[in-house]
Amino acid sequence: MVYLCGEKYLGQVATQYAQMDPDAIVVLIKDGVYLDTTPLKGKKIFAIDEDVKRRGMGERIKAKAEIIGYDALVDLVVNNKVANFT
């Protein structure tokens, strides 16, 4: 499943499910880019380019998430079930 994390509080809830999911794909969108991803080590993590850049988070996030645009997000959403935590 794609865990769409749109804020810190809900992102923390999503993290607990994603940890149980061997196929978890985590997407950080909006304030989700502030999420502490330490508990998600080993999971595939993406972050939305524009949301990262606007928040000046590029340097902080580049080691833990792959930066993608909306185009790639659409592909993820149509190819996987979405778990909404926005």
Interaction site with other proteins (CB under 8 A): 1, 4, 6, 9-10, 12-13, 16-17, 20-21, 29-30, 50, 69-71, 73-75, 77-78, 80-86
At closest approach, how far in Å is the CB of 24 from other proteins? 10
Contact between 9 and 66 (Cβ < 8 Å): no
Type of residue at 76 = L
**Nearer to other proteins (CB atom), residue 50 or residue 63:** 50
35's CB contacts (< 8 A; 6+ apart) are: 5, 8, 11, 12, 15, 28
**Nearer to other proteins (CB atom), residue 67 or residue 82:** 82
